[in-house]
Structure 1
Amino acid sequence: MKSKRIVIIGAGAAGIAAATRLLESGFENVLLLEAENRFGGRIHTIPFADNVVDLGAQWCHGEQGNAIYELTRDLDMLHPTDEIEGDFKCIRSNKEVVADVVIDRLRSITSNLEPTQQKGLKDYEGSLGTYLTEAFWRNLQPLTDVDRVVAREFFENCKKMFSSMDGADHLFEVSGKGQHEYLDCEGDLHLNWRDKGFRSFLCLLMKADQADAFDLGLLNEHIQYNARVEHIEWQSPTGDIRIRLWNGELILADHVICTVSLGVLKEIHQKLFIPPLPLVKCRAIDGLKLGTVDKIYLEFKEPFTPLDWPGFSLLWREEDLVELRNTGYYWLESLFSFHRVSCQPRLLQGWIIGQHARHMETLSEAEVFDALLWLFKKFFTSEVPTPVRLLRTRWYTNPNFRGSYFFRAIYTEEVKTSSSDLAIPILDEKDGRPLLQFAGEATHPHFYSTAHGAVDSGWREAQRLITHYLDHNPHLEE
C-alpha cells in the first residue's frame, strides 16, 4: 500500500477528501495534481472588505447525513445564517416596493413548491419548469384579489431563484422526476462559516494550520500546483498509467482518481484520455449537465441602506424588460436578487445565472460596475451610494472549471444516463484493479451540486482502493 502510486487530478473537496483518507490509511505515494495555483477547487475563500468571502461553496446545506456537518458539529465552526433570514423585499422596475402582505401571500404559494418536496414529480415526465408553472397558477386561482401582473413578475423571479439552486440556465431544461434523486439533509440548509470561510473545513480535513497560508498539513509535499494535465494514457504495455502534463512532465501511476469539474470533462475528455473512455462513460459526460451560477459582491463605504432589509429581489415589468433587452445591459435580466453577507456589514451579494452570467464574465469590471449603477438607479427611488469595490466570480470562463455545479436535465433522462454511470471506475481487465476512478459532486447520486457530496465521493473512491488492497492482502488488516 505504501508503494502504490496514486495520482489524484484536482485538489478540490473531492480530491482532498480522497487524498487525506488514503494517507491516513497507510498509502504514502499519493500525489494531487492541481491546475490552479491554490487548493480548494470550487471552494475558494479570499480576504475581502472587513473579512473573507466565499467565491464558490458558501454554506453547509443541512445537518443529518451531511459529512461536513458531522465533522464540524462539535468544533464551533458552523453557525445559523443571518444572511438570508427574514423576508426579502420585492422591488419592481418602476421603483415600487410591493406591499409585504402581497408578497407574503405569493410566498405562501412558492414556499410549498420546493422541488424535492413535490410528490407529483416522482413520475413526472416533463420539465421542472412546466410542473412548477402549472402548480403556481393553479394554486394562485383562489387568491382573486392578488394582482396577476405582480404575481407573474414575482414568479419569474422565483424561477430564476429555483434555477440557481439547480445550477440550470432555466427550469425548462431541468428534469422534473430527477428532483427526487436529490436528497436534502435535514436541518438548517444555510449554515455559515462566519469569518473563517469554507476554506476552514478543508484545513480541518488536511489537519493544516489555517492561520498559515503555506501549511498543507497531511498534504505537505503531496500537492503539485499549476499542473495542468494534457493527457492520461490509461492502457500501456507496461501496465503503468502515463500522465503527461502541459509542461512536458511525465508521471507514472498505478491508479488515477479524476476529480475535475464535469464542465472540463465535457470540453476535453476526448483528447484527455488515451484511448478514449468507454461509450457508457462518454454518454454520461455528454448527458449530465453543468450550469453557471455567479456571484457579485459590492463593497460600500457604509452598510447598505435600508438597514432593516435582509435583501431584495428584482421584479421586472414586461414593458421594462422589452426596453432592457434592446440595450447593452440586457444581461441584468438574470441578476435576480441581492442580500446581506454574514460578518460583512458593508457588503451586498448578488446572484446571476445562465447565459447572462456567462456573458457577464466576458465584460470588463468597469462595464459590470456601470451596469449595476444603472440597475440601482432603475429600481430605487433614493440615491444609492456608489460602491467602493466590485468583486464577481467567473466560473465558466475559467478553463479549469467551465461552470458551477451539476444538475439533472431532461436530456439526462433522454440519453438514459446518471451520476452513477460517471462514478463507475474503469478496471484492469487482467487483475480487476481500479485504473481510472471518478469523483466530484457530479458523481454523487443524491448529493450532487454540494460540497458534502464532493467530500463523500472522494471518500468513496479512497475506500474503493483501500478495499481492493485489503481484499488482495487480508493480512494488512492486522
Structure 2
Amino acid sequence: MNETQLEQKIVVIGAGASGIACATKLLEYGFQNVLVVEAEPRLGGRIHTIPFGENVIDLGAQWCHGEQDNIVHELASKHNLLESTGPVYENYQCVRSNREVLPDNVANRLKAIVGDSLVTRQLELRHCSGSLGSYLSNKFYEMLRKPENADIDEVIAAEFFDNYQKFENSVEASDTLEQVSGRGYLEYWECEGDILLNWKDKGYVELLRLLMHSREQPAEELGSLEQRVLFNTSVQKINWNRNDARVELQLSNGDSCVADHVIVTVSLGVLKASHLQLFEPKLPVAKQRAVEGLAFGTVNKIFIEFPAAFWPEDWTGFTLLWRQQDLADIRNTERAWLEDVFGFYRVSYQPRILAGWIISANGRHMESLAKEEVLAGCLYLFRRFLHWHIPEPVNFCSSAWHTNANFRGSYSFRSMDTERVGTGASELAAPLTVVTMTPSSPARQKFMKQQSRCDKPIVLFAGEASSEHYYSTVHGAVEAGWREAQRLAEFYGLAGTQSVAKSQL
C-alpha cells in the first residue's frame, strides 16, 4: 500500500463513545494522521464516571442494555466487568405522598400490568397510528378492567400509572409519551438478555479504556489515542465546500486546520442548536430535515450520600406516587419541579447513596437551581414520602446535560414530529461528499475496479442518534463510530480484513 494513503488527515469531532470508537478503529485500519477534537476537558462525552462517596458514580450512561448482538457486552464480558442491577429496578416500593406504602400484592400486580404491555408492544404498535402515550394508556386501563384486578383502587392505579409514564419518559428522554411515535418506537431493537447490566465498581469509563487499550497501559490514560486528543477545544465552523475537496475547521482556540475527512460525532442536541451556524455552506435540505426532525431530550440524575444507610438492608428504593390533593402543596410554588422526580434507588457498591431520576422541563429547570435548593427539595421529598428519620446528607451532586452547550441534552428518540417529517437515522448518517478522482493506491484501484471518479466522503456523521436501531444507547454510538471508520477504510480499499460487527479488543 502506498504510504501516503495512511497519512490522510482525519479529524474526529467529539471524544465520546462514538468518537473514541471511530478514532481507535481508524488506527486499527492503519490510518496514522488521526486527531480527536473535544470541547470538554475530559474524555467520554455522555459517559461521565466520577469519584463520589466510597467509589464512583455515572452521571451519564449507566447500563449495558442487553447481551446478544451488543458490542458493549461483547467487549466487557471478556473482562467480567458487568453485573445485573435489574432487581433494584424491579423490587422497589411504591410509596404515596401520605407515606402509605402499596401492599406487595397490589404493587406487584400493577408492575405486572405494565410489564405485560412491554411484551405485546412489538406486535401491536405496528398498527398504531398514534403516540406511544395513547397506546400505553389504553393498554393499561384495558388490563386494569379485567376481573382479576377489580379490587385495585382506581385512584391508586392512576397514581401508579402517572409515575410509570415518568419512568417511560426517562427511557425515551421525552417530556411526555404523547411526543413519542408509536410506530417509531419499534425502530429501536432491544438486545436479548439482561438490559440493566451495571459496570460493577468501575463505571462506564471502563468501556473507553477497553476501546483505547489503556487498561493494559495504566501509565498512558489515553492508550492508543495518546497525543491524538485536543481537549478544551470546540469547532466553530466546518467549511466543507472548498475547491480542493478538503474540509477547513475553525477552532475555538483561534487555530484552523484543513483535513481530508471530518467525522462529526457531537450530540444531536448540539447539531440542533448550532448546525445553521456551524456548517459553511449550510447542510443539504435532507440533512437539515434529519437534524430537526429527530427528537432529543433530557434526563437527569441526582445522587445523595448519607452518613449511614437509614433504610433496611433488603430495601432497593422507592417510586413517588403523588395524591392529587398533595400535589397542590407544590404546584405553583418554587418546588413545582419536584413533581417530575419519579424515584430514588440504591447504587451498586455505594452503600450510603441513593440516586434519583428527573425528567422533562422540570429536569431542565433543576439545572438552573442552586445546589442547596436542589438538595433541600430532595430532602423535602424524602421526609414527605418516607416514615424513617432522614439524616442530613454528607454529599450531593446532580447532572446537568441540557444547559451544557457541548451536549444540550441526553439522548435521542423517535417523535411524532419525526414521523410527520418522514426522516430517520439513515438521513442523519449520510455523509457529505464531493466528486473526486480515485485515490491512486493499488488496493484502492482494485477495490473500485479501475473507476476514475468517485464520491469522496469528506464530512461524515456518527453518534447514537445516527444509529437506525440502537439509538439512545452506547452500543449504538460505538457501532456508529465503527461504521464511519469502515466507510473511510472502504473508500481507500483498506477494509478487507476488518469487520465492524466484531472486534479483537
- Structure 1 and Structure 2 fold alike (TM over 0.5): yes
Q: Does 1:458 align with 2:462?
A: no
Question: In structure 1, the residue corresponding to 2:84 is in which secondary structure?
Answer: coil
Instruction: Indicate the residue corresponding to 2:157 in structure 1.
Output: 151
Per-residue Cα deviation, 1:221-262 (whole angstroms, up to 9, x for no partner): 110001111100001123221000122101110001000000
2:368 to 362, 367, 374: 362
Unaligned runs of 5+ in 1: none
Per-residue Cα deviation, 1:422-450 (whole angstroms, up to 9, x for no partner): 00111113341101110000000000000
Deviation above 4 Å: which 4+ runs of structure 1?
210-214, 473-476
CA contact (8 A) 1:304 1:348 kept: no
Q: Does 1:339 align with 2:345?
A: yes
What is the deviation of 1:322?
A: 2.5
CA contact (8 A) 2:245 2:458 kept: no
Instruction: Indicate the residue corresponding to 1:46 in structure 2.
Output: 50
Query: Which amino acid in the other structure matches residue 477 of structure 2?
Result: A
Per-residue Cα deviation, 1:150-170 (whole angstroms, up to 9, x for no partner): 000000000000110111111
Shift in CA distance, 190/446, structure 1 to aligned 2, threshold 3 Å? same
Shift in CA distance, 395/85, structure 1 to aligned 2, threshold 3 Å? closer
What is the deviation of 1:474?
A: 9.2
Per-residue Cα deviation, 1:108-135 (whole angstroms, up to 9, x for no partner): 1111122784411012110000000011
CA contact (8 A) 1:8 1:30 kept: yes
What is the deviation of 1:82?
A: 6.3
Q: What are the within-5 Å matches in structure 2 for residues 27-426 of structure 1?
A: 27-81=31-85, 84=88, 86-114=90-118, 117-142=121-146, 143-209=149-215, 212=218, 215-426=221-432
Unaligned runs of 5+ in 2: 437-453, 499-505
Instruction: Indicate the residue corresponding to 2:466 in structure 1.
Output: 443
Shift in CA distance, 270/210, structure 1 to aligned 2, threshold 3 Å? farther
The alignment covers a number of residue pairs equal to 475
Q: Does 1:434 align with 2:457?
A: yes
Per-residue Cα deviation, 1:279-310 (whole angstroms, up to 9, x for no partner): 00000000011110000000011124133211
Shift in CA distance, 229/83, structure 1 to aligned 2, threshold 3 Å? farther
Query: Which amino acid in the other structure matches residue 399 of structure 1?
Result: A
What is the deviation of 1:74?
A: 2.1
Q: Structure 1 stretch 396-405 or stretch 315-324: which is displaced more?
A: 315-324
Query: Which amino acid in the other structure matches residue 462 of structure 1?
Result: A
What is the deviation of 1:181?
A: 0.6
Per-residue Cα deviation, 1:446-465 (whole angstroms, up to 9, x for no partner): 00000000000000000000
Question: In structure 2, the residue corresponding to 1:17 is in which secondary structure?
Answer: helix
Instruction: Indicate the residue corresponding to 2:490 in structure 1.
Output: 467
Shift in CA distance, 252/62, structure 1 to aligned 2, threshold 3 Å? same
Shift in CA distance, 328/73, structure 1 to aligned 2, threshold 3 Å? same
TM-score, normalised to structure 2's length?
0.91
Percent identical pairs in the alignment equals: 49
Instruction: Indicate the residue corresponding to 2:448 in structure 1.
Output: none
Q: 2:114 and 2:216 mapped to 1: Cα distance?
A: 40
CA contact (8 A) 1:168 1:291 kept: yes
Query: Which amino acid in the other structure matches residue 131 of structure 1?
Result: Y
